[in-house]
Structure 1
Amino acid sequence: MDNNLMAVVPQVGDPRFWVYALSIIDLGELAGSSPLPFVNEAQIRDLRVSFPGECEQRHIADFLDAETARIDRLCDLRAQQIELLREASFRRIYDAVRGSHVEGARKDSGLEWLGTVPAAWRVGSVSHYFEVELGKMLNQERAHGDHLRPYLRVANVQWDRIDVSNLSMMDFPPEEQVRYRLRPGDLLVNEGGSWPGRAAVWDGEVPEIYYQKALHRIRSHGAELPRWLYYCIVVAERLKVFQVQGNTSTMTHLTREQLRPQRFPFPDPGIQRELVDQLDRAASRDLEVGQLLESQLALLAERRQALITAAVTGQFDVSTASGRNVTDGVSA
């Protein structure tokens, strides 16, 4: 609770009760729709709120302290499980990229962040195995024209997912379409924006689509899998390889000049495909479990607020009630 709000809480009764009571009031409605919404002391003071006596306030506050603390512990547990799931996923990818489970001789990769790799694996630059190109620059004039086509922006490219629910349009004349048109299997990597290095493989969900300059389009020269390179980039981004090499703690751009010479391990294409298939299956399972945990977190937050509302507004007698039913179906 903001200190400015605490200052106008009524002095009669249990302050804990009033913290809970104010938490169920939509202060946004009081603030209105001004560019800089602000709730002043007079607006809080003039609120019309029914409240019980001081003794009942204390009982309600005691009840809510105990029950919300229990729900909060469940939320912390779910958050820890989500973090452990993410860590396990990264460790699985890192081990695959290093070939940790491949038997036989190993060699130094020459990359400090990677260590050793199987002796038969190649270590080479992105540009040796892939074509790396930036998309078309957007300007005001290019948002109009006779050949408007949908294109992908940085915001569309999330980790391992391309969001096509909100596509913008740009003019791509016939002479530019071959250069900027995406193919299924192309790897897209954010050059700038909120998360340089974030990547996903285009699956062809939209039959004809293009991409803007803030995205790298990576296309294989031969048999190397863009999906394998995607997993290599996941590891490099997580270990801040691009930041270290760029000598900056906050990377604002991953330029073509930085990306093309980056070196990664490349097993034979058949082994790449086998490892990618294993990682994809594991990622699918992780996604299902992660979505379940996230939905449980959201449900716990919703029921926590519902419990506070019910208790503060006198919908049940806290002296005989238990809030344990709010977490039915989401226990540890």
Structure 2
Amino acid sequence: MTEYPTRWDVVELGSCLNRIDAGNSPDLPDRPAGPGEWGVLKVSAIRPAGFDAVENKAVTNSAFVDPRAEVRDGDLLITRANTPQLVGLACYVESPPERLLLCDKTLRLVVDERLLIGKFAGYVLAAASVRKQIEASGTGSSGSMKNISQADIRSLRFPLPSVCEQKRIIEFIDAADESIRSQELLIAKLEAAKDGAIAQLMTHGTACADGDGACRLSQASRGHVRSDWRVGSVGQFGEVRLGRQRSPQHEIGAFMKPYLRVANVFDGYIDTSDVLEMNFSISEQEVYSVRSGDLLLNEGQSLDLVGRCAKYDGPDGMYCFQNTLIRYRCSDLLEPDFAYYVFSWWLKTRRFADVAKQTTSIAHLGADRFAKMEMAVPNVAEQRRICSILMSYVERVRAARVELAKLRRVKFGMVDDLLSGRTDVGRV
């Protein structure tokens, strides 16, 4: 059993609340509010990382506007309905934009600041011991959606330090948050530098100067590129192949084989922690197997993510791939790493989105459309020089992300120690 400082009382949240406010969710278009418009929050506005004001729906009828439900600075919000992992998720709101309203699935907890500081309450509601109570209280017949009642929220129990100690705890956590924000800004700057380098290198190369110091460029369909680079279609520089379609007849068989799908292929890496299997005959394995150096692209995805790409570096023949992916196998004229940087840049600059065909919420890149996209390719030695430069940027970003993950882990442990009293701020 957890032991708290003897001066702390274990209380129910309801004893520290003045009231709970709820909003409404009229039928609204699925677009965020524009300048001067009111918006109703989506439940996704409350996230583990904090408040996301962009997640709202524009109010098209002024009759739906209730100023009493407007989100204000210092509000403590909690979701009353969400997935089992996110129901009861809370966040403390700081400096929100004007004209945002609570929805029926978000509640505002109005705390008695003489007993409980709103920002501190946000940390309490995210603590592991309180999250366990929330998840145990979730009700609903649907496995994907749970509800928590106002009565259950009021009955949540936690150790309550004095207001003075709460302020000290907030100071410690704020300092950790500031370190995290600084690291996030560093990563954004490194990413911007990498993007600038890619844009320069993909058109001008590593040594683009002639006698008078100017690049010799020629016109391509998407702008100017080095005049000594080859310009051709993606299909001319490698093999484009769509994966095998999944069907009930392939769910069992004598040649079951793990296969990769969209859920496995991210921007720059392949996650094989959740791989499914289906039957591929020996001849089909020869066609649909993946080997080291192959590039896999998301064929069907949201418009923003269609074309997302990663290079496979695992053993040859271990996996096949589904038709939600396109496999690109480079010819001798094209280095896989260089092709990856080109495709990654196309994703970021929405070139894939420009050629994809939208069907409902899914956009399809299309193997034929992808094969016809134009690319400029230098000689292999220049490709390797470009990749070496870009890899140095990638490594700096990766190292910064590792440090960010470390800072977040440290904060997580620190918050747990502070809220449980294991780190006694009264003695620090």
**Match of residue 172 from structure 1:** 280
1:144 partnered with 2:252? yes
Q: Aligned Cα RMSD in Å?
A: 2.9
Deviates more, 1:29-38 or 1:97-106: 29-38
Letter in 1 for 2:137: A
**Match of residue 327 from structure 1:** none
Which whole-Å CA distance do the structure 2 matches of 1:15 and 1:282 have between them?
43
Letter in 2 for 1:239: T
Give the conservation status (yes or no) of the 8 Å contact 1:189–1:199: yes
Which whole-Å CA distance do the structure 2 matches of 1:43 and 1:297 have between them?
30
What is the DSSP-based 3-state SS (H/G/I as helix, E as strand, rest coil) of the residue aligned with 1:260? Answer: helix
Could you tell me how far 1:247 is from its partner in structure 2? 8.1
Deviates more, 1:221-230 or 1:252-261: 221-230
Deviations 1:176-235 (A, max 9, x none): 222112222222111013532111122233543211111111123443223222111111
What is the DSSP-based 3-state SS (H/G/I as helix, E as strand, rest coil) of the residue aligned with 1:252? Answer: strand
Which whole-Å CA distance do the structure 2 matches of 1:21 and 1:147 have between them?
52
Letter in 1 for 2:394: A
Task: Decide whether aligned partners of structure 1 residues 305 and 82 sit closer, same or farther in structure 2, where only a CA change above 3 A counts.
Answer: farther
Which whole-Å CA distance do the structure 2 matches of 1:198 and 1:182 have between them?
17
Could you tell me how far 1:274 is from its partner in structure 2? 2.8
**Match of residue 67 from structure 2:** none
Task: Decide whether aligned partners of structure 1 residues 18 and 262 sit closer, same or farther in structure 2, where only a CA change above 3 A counts.
Answer: closer
Give the conservation status (yes or no) of the 8 Å contact 1:109–1:123: no
Q: How does 1:161-240 map to 2 (within 5 A)?
A: 161-193=269-301, 195-205=305-315, 207-240=317-350
Letter in 2 for 1:145: G
**Match of residue 353 from structure 2:** 243
Deviates more, 1:208-217 or 1:17-26: 17-26
Higher strand proportion (structure 1 or 2): 2
Which whole-Å CA distance do the structure 2 matches of 1:251 and 1:87 have between them?
28
Could you tell me how far 1:284 is from its partner in structure 2? 3.5
State the TM-score, normalized to the length of structure 1.
0.81
Deviates more, 1:294-303 or 1:16-25: 16-25
Give the conservation status (yes or no) of the 8 Å contact 2:233–2:374: yes
1:99 partnered with 2:179? no
1:45 partnered with 2:120? no
Which whole-Å CA distance do the structure 2 matches of 1:317 and 1:187 have between them?
52
Could you tell me how far 1:152 is from its partner in structure 2? 1.3
Letter in 1 for 2:204: G
Which whole-Å CA distance do the structure 2 matches of 1:130 and 1:93 have between them?
21
What is the DSSP-based 3-state SS (H/G/I as helix, E as strand, rest coil) of the residue aligned with 1:6? Answer: strand
What is the DSSP-based 3-state SS (H/G/I as helix, E as strand, rest coil) of the residue aligned with 1:162? Answer: coil
Give the conservation status (yes or no) of the 8 Å contact 1:136–1:180: yes
Which whole-Å CA distance do the structure 1 matches of 2:160 and 2:407 have between them?
32
Letter in 1 for 2:390: L
Q: Between the two structures, name the one with larger relative contact order (CA 8 Å, sep ≥ 6).
A: 1
Query: How many pairs does the alignment contain?
Result: 309
Deviations 1:215-259 (A, max 9, x none): 1111234432232221111111111112234587x8722111321
Residue identity over aligned pairs, in percent, reads 25
1:78 partnered with 2:183? yes
Give the conservation status (yes or no) of the 8 Å contact 1:99–1:117: yes
Deviates more, 1:291-300 or 1:234-243: 291-300
Give the conservation status (yes or no) of the 8 Å contact 1:153–1:212: yes
Give the conservation status (yes or no) of the 8 Å contact 1:137–1:212: yes
State the TM-score, normalized to the length of structure 2.
0.64
Which whole-Å CA distance do the structure 1 matches of 2:160 and 2:334 have between them?
69
Give the conservation status (yes or no) of the 8 Å contact 1:126–1:262: yes
Deviates more, 1:100-109 or 1:222-231: 100-109
Give the conservation status (yes or no) of the 8 Å contact 2:180–2:404: no
Which whole-Å CA distance do the structure 1 matches of 2:398 and 2:121 have between them?
40
Letter in 2 for 1:279: L
Structure 2 unaligned blocks of 5 or more: 1-75, 79-106
Which whole-Å CA distance do the structure 2 matches of 1:317 and 1:201 have between them?
49
Deviates more, 1:96-105 or 1:260-269: 96-105
Could you tell me how far 1:260 is from its partner in structure 2? 0.9
**Match of residue 414 from structure 2:** 303
Task: Decide whether aligned partners of structure 1 residues 251 and 239 sit closer, same or farther in structure 2, where only a CA change above 3 A counts.
Answer: farther
What is the DSSP-based 3-state SS (H/G/I as helix, E as strand, rest coil) of the residue aligned with 2:240? Answer: strand
**Match of residue 328 from structure 1:** none
Pick from 380, 383, 388 the counterpart of residue 272 of structure 1.
383
